[in-house]
A and B are shown apart, each in its own frame.
Chain A
Amino acid sequence: MSRAPSLGTTGYDLPVFEAVVPAAVASGATERRTVAIVGGGVTGLTLAADLSLRGVDAVLLDDDLTVGVRGASSRGMCYAQKTLEIMDGLGVYGPIRDKGVVWSVGRTLSGDDVIYEFDRAGDNGSLQPPFVNLQQFYLEWFLVERIVALGAVEPRWGNKVVGIALASDHVDLEVETPGGCYALRADWVVDATGAGSPLREMLALPVEAAHSVDRWCICDARFVKELPAERWTWVNAPFNADRAVWQHPMADNVWRLDYQLGPDADPADAADSETARARVRAHLGPDTPFELVWVGPWQYRAQLVEHMVHGRLILAGDAAHVMSPFGARGGNSGIHDADNLGWKLALVTQGRAGPALVETYHRERHAAGAENIRVTSQTSRFLAPESDFERRLREVAIGLAREHPFGRALVNTGRLSLPNRYTDSPAIGPRGGFCLPNVALGDGRSLAATLRDLGTGFLALYLDDAPELPAAAPARAAKLDDPSGEIVRLTRLAAGEVLLVRPDLYCAAVVPAAEAARTVETLCCSLAWAQAA
């Protein structure tokens, strides 16, 4: 990995990786792999790191030579607790925390007044904080370094998929490299190529999409000013013609400043550096020198594929679902997709679960995608009223919020990413479907680390008598030592019962000890179950 000279207007030094030309280019033979991940964004990289740790044969194909969406222009920057817990399990939480900005307080302003505030600190017993802000390419960079250090999954930079064919038990890819083309046949292919997925296009997979007319302009700026490490959102900022403004601290003294534009704004004019400079100057005041790091006008859309699993092709992240960024649900939900998928692919490819387990990825994450789109669309509409009725409704809601607590619940500048609940999934049993926090157990190890110790499997936690589990079952029993008391509080685990925790830290089920073994079989979509489905 070599350091490139500064990339000019992006204001960052990003790594440039060497393009990989695999042996199959010269030999002309078809390369065989268990899993091929296409796309090295946060979703694909999270999955690559996860599969590396689970010992699954995989390769990662990316058509670019660096991190971020074409360099520093990738715009994700807020990582919520569940994501940080996942990164803890992957061994990259430390660098993320050290480089990023840890925060828990958010304030919503109207004019000069704070009308709503929250503090998510101390919500639960998790070892990770509610949020860390960090430019997306840094998160990707840390993941790349981790994947390279683990040495199991090869990242292939400069490898572009130009052809795809689905079969019943594999997927054929045609891959273009700077040295020539090669054929790759994988048992499973994961499309993590983003919102405009070329794989999806090639296969003409159905997508439901809705475009918004609301326009914004990001003006990331580097400056030093005594501002708190908090999320500030203005519904109507006096310094932005009474339109919305976002202010978030990120790494390197860079701030994400995001300005809602007028309905008739010309994006080219908004992107003009003088226009951007004037906007930031009005925001920060005349006495704060600043440097623009990146300026980009944007519009959002909502988009959801009909199905996230097509035989042996699996869609993840933005390739499957796109939403407005309010609430930081885009990047976080892609990472949660990868976390949901990794252990299922591991169990299925290792022959320890039925192939139908992969279908539960669709059930759970498609519902999560729809829920995230619904929640973010509500915020979008609050921020961009479309009629006089809506504008006045919002005005009176804000007026009530200034005086009454109930009104504050109506002011919606984004509902930040939380782990989605899973219902109606074969991989969820009685009393399950919600996410457990990454608490420290009695031996000092985190719940995530304890699950990683199993390789891939369920943790069967009990209070008194250990359940009997077949040696072949992907599950291990352990007496629960829960100093925080959070696990018992959340699951209401009682004597004589067993709590089955999935590798993604979801509570899979709470069942009587005698039913533990049969429940694991059901949750794994055992072959008998799969044939019946």
Chain B
Amino acid sequence: MTQFATDPRFEDADRFYHGLVEASAALAEDKRLDFSLRLILLLASQIGEDAVLRECIAEAARPFNPENMQ
């Protein structure tokens, strides 16, 4: 069972980050958002657990919520 976690779990964080950079650089600018969304859905399906996914959505949105705006 996957838990919502914020500790480092990457086998190779730099390689993942660079993979994102290279994949985006190979796309036209107007395709990069769609690419990101496809990637989110693929990664979400790897996780599966509904509770974890809802926590991820809440944490991703948190800085943009009105109560957190400075």
A498 within 8 A of B: no
Report which of B5, B9, B18 forms a contact with A381, defined as CB distance below 8 A.
Answer: B18
B67 within 8 A of A: no
> CB distance A387 to B14 under 8 Å?
no
B32 within 8 A of A: yes
Q: Which residue of A lies closest to B18 (CB)?
A: A378
Known A388-B29, A389-B32, A415-B14: A406·B21 in contact at CB below 8 Å: no
- Taking chain A's interface residues, is the majority helix, strand, or loop, or is none over half, making it mixed? helix
The smallest beta-carbon distance between B46 and chain A, in angstroms, is: 16
Contacts of B15 in A (CB 8 A): 378
- The segment out of A117-125, A129-137, A197-205, A397-405 that lies at the interface is A397-405
Give how many A residues have a beta carbon under 8 Å from the other chain's beta carbons: 25
Known A388-B29, A389-B32: A409·B24 in contact at CB below 8 Å: no
Proximity string of chain A (366-403) to chain B, C-beta cutoff 8 Å, 1 when within and 0 when not: 00000000010111011001111110010001010001
Known A381-B18, A409-B8: A387·B13 in contact at CB below 8 Å: no
> CB distance B24 to A389 under 8 Å?
yes
Report which of B8, B25, B63 forms a contact with A399, defined as CB distance below 8 A.
Answer: B63
Contacts of A378 in B (CB 8 A): 14-15, 17-18
Q: Which residue of B lies closest to A404 (CB)?
A: B6
Contacts of A415 in B (CB 8 A): 14
**C-alpha gap A70/B54 in the complex (Å):** 60
**C-alpha gap A415/B17 in the complex (Å):** 14
A412 within 8 A of B: yes
A283 within 8 A of B: no
**Most interface-central of B5, B15, B17 (chain A CB within 10 A):** B17
> CB distance A393 to B21 under 8 Å?
yes
> CB distance B29 to A389 under 8 Å?
yes
> CB distance B29 to A409 under 8 Å?
no
> CB distance B6 to A405 under 8 Å?
yes
The smallest beta-carbon distance between B23 and chain A, in angstroms, is: 10
**C-alpha gap A162/B10 in the complex (Å):** 51
Q: Which residue of A lies closest to B22 (CB)?
A: A381
Q: Which residue of A lies closest to B33 (CB)?
A: A389
**Most interface-central of A385, A387, A397 (chain B CB within 10 A):** A387
Known A378-B15, A378-B17: A408·B25 in contact at CB below 8 Å: no
A265 within 8 A of B: no
> CB distance A412 to B29 under 8 Å?
no
**C-alpha gap A189/B65 in the complex (Å):** 66
Contacts of B18 in A (CB 8 A): 377-378, 381
Q: Which residue of B lies closest to A375 (CB)?
A: B14
> CB distance A386 to B25 under 8 Å?
yes
The smallest beta-carbon distance between B58 and chain A, in angstroms, is: 13
A494 within 8 A of B: no
> CB distance A409 to B10 under 8 Å?
yes
Contacts of A405 in B (CB 8 A): 6-8
17 pairs across A/B with beta carbons < 8 Å? A375-B14, A378-B14, A382-B17, A387-B24, A387-B25, A390-B25, A393-B21, A393-B24, A405-B7, A405-B8, A406-B5, A406-B6, A406-B7, A408-B8, A409-B8, A412-B14, A415-B14
B residues sitting closer than 8 Å to A (CB atoms) are 5-10, 13-15, 17-18, 20-21, 24-25, 29, 32, 63
Given pairs A378-B18, A389-B24, A393-B24, 12 additional interface contacts (CB within 8 A) = A379-B14, A381-B18, A385-B21, A387-B24, A387-B25, A387-B32, A390-B21, A405-B8, A406-B7, A406-B8, A410-B10, A412-B17
